[in-house]
Amino acid sequence: MARKALPKKTHFGNLSSEQGGEDTLNYMMQGVQALGGNDNAAAIWVEIDKIEPWEHQPRHYFDEEKLQELAVSFKKTGFRGVLNVRPLGQGQYQIVAGERRWRAAMIAGLDKVRCLVDDCTDEEALQFGLVENLIREDLSKLEETQGLVDLMAVRLGFSPDQVIHIIRTEGHSDARRNVSPSEHLSAIIEILNSFGIDLETFRTKWLRTLELPEDLKQAHLKDKLSYNKALLLSRIANKKQREALTAQTITENLSFRDLTAEVKRLLAGREKEKPEPLVKRIKKVTRDIQLNKIPKTGEKRKQIETLLEQLEQVVDSL
């Protein structure tokens, strides 16, 4: 098939930063439609074992029950819809969008699936996947965050870790005060603006989803826990307490307000369990000495004198 050109320039670096989030998403959606197309007649049938998933595609979690339901549907009616793929050479293809349908087709035991083929770049593929899923509101906050970081990494030619470092250091509000952003940070801000996302919000909240404990990540990916609740629960360091409250939050559908109260209660209890400050302990021992609780002779007195000498040596060395 003839390659469909993307409208105008599709790279984020060429998008106008003056465009609003919704306008820019509409503009980008034109690129998605041009890249993906809606013409099934232009699609070709490709053997399913010639297709492989892409590790950077935005969607990471696939509900097993829904996959089975779609597989049953494919067994009854045959494959429906299309996959968006790009050629890898030697008759092999990589999925740009449609991995859920591909997985269901594999479960159904289908030999071929219908595909739209376009030789798109990594950046175009990431843009396509992100916009398509965002329009359908099909991604978790964790997946959105990882997808955006991957897109920034491709755009800048950096690793995802380098992108995160730039956001956390150069993107900090204190670092940006009265200082023009660097070229790299400007590109990051432009990408975020194109999705209607504020840099400070992305830095202080969205990035934290990448550091969630695994139990909270899974609950969030499975759409059992909003990212705000997951971030709140992550404040509980004790894994057993966190998992118990997570289960309660899910089964009882606790509101954010109620969950906040429970987290505060647990954290307050943890504070009470902390050992007394060292200064308080020293004062208590001193008070006991003043009350003549130390024996005048014997082995215990010798032990106390030895410990006191050691303590004096430590204090003198400070």
Check whether residue 37 and residue 82 sit in a common domain. Answer: yes
Residue 194 has pLDDT above 80, yes or no: yes
Using pLDDT thresholds of 50, 70 and 90, give the confidence band for residue 139.
confident
Average pLDDT over residues 255-283: 79
306 in any annotated domain? yes
Predicted local confidence at residue 103, as pLDDT = 93
Check whether residue 52 and residue 112 sit in a common domain. Answer: yes
Predicted local confidence at residue 34, as pLDDT = 45
Predicted local confidence at residue 13, as pLDDT = 32
Boundary (domain end) residue, out of 111, 135, 159: 135
Residue 77 has pLDDT above 50, yes or no: yes
> To the nearest whole number, what is the mean pLDDT of the chain?
80
Residue 17 has pLDDT above 50, yes or no: no
Boundary (domain end) residue, out of 210, 244, 264: 210
Tell which wins on pLDDT, 317 or 153: 153
Print the domain residue range for 83: 12-135
Tell which wins on pLDDT, 31 or 313: 313
What are the strands of the beta sheet with 112-117, ordered from one edge? 44-47, 112-117, 83-89, 92-97, 51-52
7 in any annotated domain? no
1 in any annotated domain? no
Predicted local confidence at residue 126, as pLDDT = 84
Check whether residue 261 and residue 298 sit in a common domain. Answer: no
Check whether residue 167 and residue 220 sit in a common domain. Answer: no
Which residue(s) pair with 93 in the sheet?
Answer: 51, 87
Burial 179-203 (b: 16+ CB within 10 A, else e): eebeebbebbbbbbbbbebebeebb
Q: Give the chain as a 3 state SS string.
A: CCCCCCCCCCCHHHCCCCCCHHHHHHHHHHHHHHHHCCCHHHCEEEEHHHEECCCCCCCCCCCHHHHHHHHHHHHHHCCCCCEEEEEEECCEEEEEECHHHHHHHHHHCCCEEEEEECCCCHHHHHHHHHHHHHHCCCCCHHHHHHHHHHHHHHHHCCCHHHHHHHHHHCCCHHHHCCCCCCHHHHHHHHHHHHCCCCHHHHHHCHHHHHHCCHHHHHHHHCCCCCHHHHHHHCCCCCHHHHHHHHHHHHHHCCCHHHHHHHHHHHHHHHHHHCCCCHHHHHHHHHHHHHCCCCCCCCHHHHHHHHHHHHHHHHHHHC
Radius of gyration of the chain (CA): 29
Using pLDDT thresholds of 50, 70 and 90, give the confidence band for residue 257.
very high
Predicted local confidence at residue 244, as pLDDT = 94
96 in any annotated domain? yes
189 in any annotated domain? yes
Using pLDDT thresholds of 50, 70 and 90, give the confidence band for residue 179.
confident
Check whether residue 216 and residue 265 sit in a common domain. Answer: yes
Residue 41 has pLDDT above 60, yes or no: no
Predicted local confidence at residue 318, as pLDDT = 59
6 in any annotated domain? no
Predicted local confidence at residue 225, as pLDDT = 94
Check whether residue 89 and residue 41 sit in a common domain. Answer: yes
225 in any annotated domain? yes
Predicted local confidence at residue 29, as pLDDT = 47
Using pLDDT thresholds of 50, 70 and 90, give the confidence band for residue 11.
very low
Alpha-carbon span 31 to 27, nearest angstrom: 7
Check whether residue 221 and residue 232 sit in a common domain. Answer: yes
Residue 177 has pLDDT above 50, yes or no: yes
Using pLDDT thresholds of 50, 70 and 90, give the confidence band for residue 271.
low
Check whether residue 60 and residue 99 sit in a common domain. Answer: yes
Boundary (domain end) residue, out of 184, 210, 236: 210
245-249 contact pairs (CB < 8 A, 24+): 246/215, 246/216, 246/219, 249/225
Average pLDDT over residues 242-267: 94
Check whether residue 54 and residue 129 sit in a common domain. Answer: yes
18 in any annotated domain? yes
Please, are residues 207 and 172 in contact by the beta-carbon 8 Å criterion? no
Number of domains into which the chain is organized: 4
Residue 38 has pLDDT above 70, yes or no: no
Average pLDDT over residues 259-288: 76
Please, are residues 63 and 27 in contact by the beta-carbon 8 Å criterion? no
Check whether residue 270 and residue 285 sit in a common domain. Answer: no
Using pLDDT thresholds of 50, 70 and 90, give the confidence band for residue 292.
low
Using pLDDT thresholds of 50, 70 and 90, give the confidence band for residue 93.
very high
Predicted local confidence at residue 314, as pLDDT = 67
Check whether residue 199 and residue 224 sit in a common domain. Answer: no
Using pLDDT thresholds of 50, 70 and 90, give the confidence band for residue 176.
confident
Q: How far is CA 7 from CA 11, 15, 46, 289, in A?
A: 11, 12, 27, 84
- pTM score, two decimals? 0.63
Please, are residues 16 and 190 in contact by the beta-carbon 8 Å criterion? no
Domain containing residue 96: CATH number: 3.90.1530.30
Check whether residue 45 and residue 129 sit in a common domain. Answer: yes
